[in-house]
Structure 1
Amino acid sequence: MNHPRIISIEGPIGAGKTSLARLLADHFQGELILEKPEENPFLPDFYRQPGGELATELQFLLQRQAQWQSAALTNAYIISDYSARKDEIFTPLTLNAAELRLFQQIKTQLHYQAPCAALLIFLNAPLATLKARILSRARAYEQNLDTAYLAKVQQAYLHWRSNYTAPCLEINTAELDFVHEERHNENLIKMVKYHLQDI
């Protein structure tokens, strides 16, 4: 049996990952895997005050493992609004050296294997655009998100992207509005299909 082709979408908070994942899952009739931050009980405290970083990252790791282990193999495509390797972005940013070592030890004991994406779509936008989108979606725990922290997150994503060697399509979502412009949707799907042909 052929394995599904995985299309994963990554980018800073507010870049448009979930909106794009839904669009592509609908077009390709694929299985949709979404990160569920609202199910991480440690996340609100993480944003409010220091101290819950390790618990937050471990909870996300367990969530990812459960999602990918239960993913169906019957669809031709699986589309996710995050990379299965997302911990590579956030753990160096949020954990100290001792916590990072413990995280890696637990990850090894869990035998977590990040599935390889056939195509990564990396989204980005200017910091002001990201901030405006975060405020407009009105998630309570994000409303007081510090701009300096958001800038660090964006830089962590860019650093991770610079070391990512698998097939990748980069999109500036300030210039390509696939949420509101049907013409942009069509162009985006054409770009994704073109990149998949070369893989």
Structure 2
Amino acid sequence: MARKKFIAIAGNIGAGKTELTSFLCRKYGLTPFFEPNEENPYLADFYRDMKTWAFRSQLFFLTAKFRLQRQMERSQGTALQDRTLYEDAEIFAKNLHRQRFIDKRDWGMYRDLYETFSQTLAPPDLMIYLRCPVRTLRQRIRLRGREMEQDIPPAYLKRLNGLYEEWFSGYKLSPVLVLPTDKLDYLTNLVDRVDLFQQIEKHL
């Protein structure tokens, strides 16, 4: 019996993670695991006042993603996750710490918890990184119309993009497939779609 696989999709807010997750699940019959944005009771408050709510919001995401990944490990067949706990810690929480929205004491506790969680989890078999410039991210955020996201500053998205590049420059947990989602149209362009499928199948 072939070992079940774990594919992760990484990318900034508005990069197209949920869209690609749904698309690949339809193509390959995968089990999707989506980011629990709607379940986070701190998220709307966080976007209004990042300094007050940053630590609590990130702690929710970290523990929710840990539970989700453990659930994924118990599921049948190949699983596909829309943003992992690695991104929560290495991109979003780290950005908030660097902006001094999460202080040194809370950051130390958060990192201890993250390292404890991550050591107990199996890493992805493939990480798909959706690279996308800030201008395109902002267009997509406006189009999808989530009210709490509409006032996200461009500088915040730019810092996150920088952290993604920094993290992936040293990422060693799994093979990485980088997709420039402002240039690829795998949803309607047959050539882009075939190329995407071939690259995924080569890794898996």
- Deviation, structure 1 residue 146: 0.5
**Mapped contact 2:43–2:57 kept (Cα < 8 A):** yes
Kindly provide the amino acid, as one letter, of the partner of residue 61 in structure 1. Answer: L
Runs of 5+ consecutive residues of structure 1 not aligned to the other structure = none
Counterpart position of 2:94: 92
- Deviation, structure 1 residue 108: 5.8
Counterpart position of 2:178: 170
Number of residue pairs the alignment of both structures matches: 195
Counterpart position of 1:32: 32
> What TM-score results when the alignment is normalised by the length of structure 2?
0.87
The separation in 1 between residues aligned to 2:120 and 2:53, in whole angstroms, is 25
Runs of 5+ consecutive residues of structure 2 not aligned to the other structure = 98-102
> What TM-score results when the alignment is normalised by the length of structure 1?
0.89
Deviation track 1:23-58 (CA, whole Å, cap 9, x = no partner) reads 112222121111021211111121111211110111
**Fraction of identical pairs, as percent:** 29
**Mapped contact 1:4–1:73 kept (Cα < 8 A):** no
Structure-to-structure mapping, 1:108-187, within 5 angstroms: 113-165=120-172, 166-187=174-195
Counterpart position of 2:54: 53
Superposition CA RMSD, Å: 1.9
The separation in 2 between residues aligned to 1:109 and 1:119, in whole angstroms, is 22
Distance 1:195 1:111, change over 3 A: closer
Deviation track 1:66-125 (CA, whole Å, cap 9, x = no partner) reads 2122224421x1111113412222221113322211213344676873431111011111
Kindly provide the amino acid, as one letter, of the partner of residue 34 in structure 2. Answer: L
Q: 1:74 aligns with which of 73, 76, 89?
A: 76
Counterpart position of 1:41: 41
